[in-house]
Amino acid sequence: MLRMDFHELPDSFAMRMEGRFVGDFAEHARMLVARSKVPSSFVADLSDVTFDDATGEEVLVWFKEVGVKFVADSAYSADVCDRLQLPILNDSPSVAELDRAAVHRRPLTIKTRIAAS
């Protein structure tokens, strides 16, 4: 299962992923990002991703190509970012910390939970 939370912050757009970034889940994430206008500051927090497959890695590389930057606060997510040469925001707080710190936080714009059928 994959959980994706999208947050609109004062100066950026953030996506937090939790769980397995694989197959149809990864393709769904690509579709959601492709349908939206990617802002100049788009951050994907991979800290709670527990596994990815070839499709997930392909989508992460596509995210990089459209300008997404990454947060990787776990050993697994840091390894994925290193292997795929994804741009990591150095010394940046996680999306959850950014969200809590936002003074003029807007409500969650999209929240989706994808479960295997």
Q: Which domain holds residue 78?
A: 2-114
Number of domains in the chain: 1
Nearest-angstrom CA–CA distance, 11 and 9: 6
Q: Would you state the pLDDT for residue 71?
A: 95
What's residue 27's pLDDT? Answer: 96
By CB atoms closer than 10 A (0-12, 13-18, 19+), residue 114 is middle
Assess whether pLDDT exceeds 70 at residue 64.
yes
User: What is the structure's pLDDT at 38?
Assistant: 67
Per-residue pLDDT, averaged over 70-80, amounts to: 95
pLDDT for 13: 84
* pLDDT mean over 44-63: 96
pLDDT tens track for 27-42: 999 998 888 776 778 8
Write the CATH number for 22.
3.30.750.24
